[in-house]
Structure 1
Amino acid sequence: MSYITRRALSTLIPPKIASPNAIGAAKDAARMERVVNFYARLPRGPAPEPKPTGLLERYGERYFGKNPSAAPIFHVIAGLLALGYGMDYYFHLRHHKNHPH
Structure 2
Amino acid sequence: MSAIKSLLPPRISVSGVTGASGSTAALSDLYSKLPKGPAPKIQPQGFLGRYYARYIATSSPAPILHATLAIGLIGYAFNYHFHLKHHKTKKHH
Percent identity of equivalent pairs: 36
Give the gaps of 5 or more residues in structure 1: 19-27
Per-residue Cα deviation, 1:3-54 (whole angstroms, up to 9, x for no partner): 67x62xx23x436617xxxxxxxxx44xx43332221011112212221112
Partner of 1:39: 31
CA distance, structure 2, for counterparts of residue 97 and residue 90 of structure 1? 12
1:72 equivalent to 2:68? Answer: no
Matches within 5 A, 1:1-101: 7=7, 10-11=8-9, 13-14=10-11, 17=18, 28-29=22-23, 32-65=24-57, 67-92=58-83, 93=85, 95=86
Query: How many residues of Structure 1 are paired with residues of Structure 2 in the alignment?
Result: 81
TM value normalised by structure 1: 0.62
CA distance, structure 2, for counterparts of residue 14 and residue 49 of structure 1? 35
2:11 maps to amino acid = P
Give the gaps of 5 or more residues in structure 2: none
1:84 maps to amino acid = G
